[in-house]
Structure 1
Amino acid sequence: MTIQGFKTLRKYSIMLGAIASALSMSSTPAYAAGDLLVAPTRVVLDGERGTEVILNNIGSETATYRISMELRRMTADGRLEDVPEDQINEIETASKAMIRYAPRRVTLPPNQPQAIRLGVRAPDGLADGEYRVHLLFRAIPKARSVTEQSATEGGLTIALTPIYGVTIPVIVRQGNLQATAAIANGRMEQNAEGQSFAFDLSRSGNRSTYGEIVITKPGVDEPVMVARGIAVYPEVEKRTVTLPVPPEIAAQLSGPITVEYYETANAGGGLIAKTDMVLR
């Protein structure tokens, strides 16, 4: 093995060890962006108890991260968009006011985990419902020289530094909330990136739904496709789910299939919605 190959292997070994460490602290998956790993990827609180989110620097250098709170709304195509200050509603205002977190800035050596404490201070008389904010964990780039003389062109050399960030939802549920979902209008779509399987996922009730989509085919033991982290938030009654389909999978989706929507394992793994359809 070459020295470069050994360094690459060692880097991946360190990364996998850090991921395993973070996952051991939580029953839900972790997000990684750049050199930052965050677990869990979603937090649901009952309005009284608190919890922790674990950050881990999986890079090779010390890094500083800033933690901030954002408001985002889901669109009909499943995207999450920032809420302008002049459009924040009462539920979103209450959400920001009741959720506490600390610290708000951390500096981590390589492979060093840090717990971010989350808590809720719900006001008296809080109306039943689901309240949500999004926590953004973003790397703060190290200070560098703003301009440098270009030896070849005599001008300015501009260095672009990517800033990585991870966003997770933090949800507070007040009262006895219920929700149901339904799957309809499955179809294959073609775009510049290739084929996709799309369907409409509707929701009714006073809370969000969240889980994984499992697509099976009669006579085939293993699922044809599995997509995790599929949510429908209370601000939308229906959204489009679009799943990229590799060419080798597209042929298997032709004909009769079953599409199921399950809760995550740590939420009980129950079936939320199911439908049979035939794709042409």
Structure 2
Amino acid sequence: MHTFFKIVILVTLGLIVAAQSYASLLISPVRTVLSERERTQIITLINTGNETRSYRVEWRQLMAVPEGGYREYTEEEKKRIAGLERIARVTPKQVSLQPGQRQSVKILLRKPENLAAGEYRSHLSFVALPLNTAPENNSGESSIKLQLLMSYSMPVIYRAGSVIVNPEITNLSLVHIKESGVTNIKVDFYHDDLFSTHGRLVAIWTPKNGTPRQVGLLNGYNFYPETKNATIQFPWKDFKLAPGSLEVRYEGQGEYHGLLLAQKTLTITQQMINSVK
């Protein structure tokens, strides 16, 4: 069997948009970049629920993993890797929002002299504090109600030095999910950059002797410097296996708007189709 088509059971997709709602908290934007010209950024929080909620605002050090998502820094990594929290200040450190109320959180860059070139990133986390509820039980005594502390995190980035990025799409393949019948486009990335990239993945299908059409889109994909290799999957809309060519373009968004960051084409022949039937 050719390697362009693989079978899996489950795939997890990530999608980032300009504003995101987590339970009763609306956060906008969900990613921000500080610069020499814009040393201050404002994050807007809105309580979309029907209860007053409080949130602790704090920094977290999260490492990107190749298959997508993040993990916490180890203690050794915290000592070795310079996070943004060392050169940025956030205020306020805690907010309380009534239903429908909004609050601004300010991030201020405090860049020291002779800062080494590279990317400085930390995640700003909004930790939902427990509601002040202590219901009484049938005996009239207060009972303890266990509440999970939910945390919502967003990346905040500052880049020092000349920003040069050269991400590469090393391989394209198709992944069919038996249980759902969905076919995903699998994109393998590689880079050796000091800086991350941010953009959208656009998939264009051109059938043999046919007209090109967009068959897939994934917005807000981040490729971070700590991961040399990464893999992402997103669905092919109305997939039908046929001869033709599939082009995937990694197009810049945000500070990379208007740039084509990477592209690659997968050609599907009749011989390849016959091999997977």
Secondary structure, in 3 states, of the residue corresponding to 2:239?
helix
**Residues 74 and 236 of structure 1 are in contact (CA less than 8 Å); yes or no, is this contact kept in structure 2?**
yes
| 1:169 maps to amino acid | P
**Greater Cα offset, 124-133 or 163-172:** 163-172
Output the CA distance in 2 between the equivalents of 1:192 and 1:163: 36
Of 128-137 and 60-69, the range deviating more from structure 2:
60-69
Distance in 2 (CA, whole Å) between partners of 1:32 and 1:77 is 24
Q: Which residue of 2 aligns with 1:217?
A: 205
Counterpart in the other structure of 1:119 = 108
The RMSD of aligned alpha carbons is 2.7
Q: Which amino acid aligns with 2:117?
A: D
Number of the residue aligned with 1:92: 82
| Matched residue type, 1:207 | F
The Cα shift of 1:222 comes to: 4.4
Whole-Å separation in 1 of the counterparts to 2:93 and 2:178: 41
Gaps of 5+ in 1: 1-27, 151-156
Task: Confirm or deny that 1:260 pairs with 2:249.
Answer: yes
Cα deviation for residue 249 of structure 1 reads 2.7
* 1:42-191 equivalent positions in 2, closer than 5 A: 42-47=31-36, 49-93=39-83, 95-145=84-134, 148=137, 161=147, 163-191=149-177
Tell me how far apart the structure 2 counterparts of residues 255 and 98 of structure 1 sit (CA, whole Å). 50
Question: How far off its partner does 1:82 sit?
Answer: 0.7
Work out whether 1:199 is the aligned partner of 2:187: yes
Task: Write the distance in 1 (CA, Å) between the matches of 2:111 and 2:178.
Answer: 47
> TM-score, normalization: structure 2?
0.78
Shift in Å, 1:250: 2.9
Contact 1:29 1:39 in 2 (8 A): yes
Q: CA deviation at 1:79?
A: 2.1
Distance 1:254 1:212 in 2: 26
CA contact (8 A) 2:34 2:158 kept: yes
Name the CA shift for 1:253/1:103 in 2 (closer, same or farther; >3 Å). farther
Structure-1 separation of matches of 2:162 and 2:242:
39
User: Are the structure 2 counterparts of residues 202 and 192 from structure 1 closer, same or farther at C-alpha, using a change threshold of 3 Å?
Assistant: same
Counterpart mapping for 1:4-23 below 5 A: none
C-alpha displacement of 1:252: 6.5
Q: Aligned with 1:250: secondary structure?
A: coil
Give % identity. 27
Task: After superposing the two structures, state which structure 1 stretch, 61-70 or 195-204, moved more.
Answer: 195-204
Conserved 8 A contact 2:88-2:108: yes
Query: Residue type of the partner of 2:195?
Result: R
Gaps of 5+ in 2: 1-16
Contact 1:186 1:200 in 2 (8 A): yes
Select the residue among 21, 32, 43 that pairs with 2:21. Answer: 32
Kindly provide the amino acid, as one letter, of the partner of residue 240 in structure 1.
T
Match of 1:6 in 2: none
Count of residue correspondences:
244
Tell me the secondary structure at the aligned position of residue 256 of structure 1: strand
Distance in 2 of aligned mates of 1:92 and 1:253: 49
Structure 2 residue aligned with 1:242: 233
TM-superposition CA deviations, 1:138-175 (whole Å, max 9, x none) = 2212033388569xxxxxx9866454432110001111
Q: Distance in 2 between matches of 1:239 and 1:189?
A: 16
Q: Hey, what's the Cα distance between the residues in 2 that align with 1:147 and 1:253?
A: 65
- Out of 32-41 and 270-279, give the one that drifted further: 270-279
SS at match of 1:92: coil
Q: TM-score, normalised by structure 1?
A: 0.78
Change (3 A) 1:88 1:193: farther
Judge conservation of contact 1:75–1:236 (CA < 8 Å) in 2.
yes
Is contact 1:224-1:253 (8 Å) kept? no
Amino acid in the other structure paired with 1:234: P
Contact (CA 8 Å) 1:38, 1:166: kept in 2 or not? no
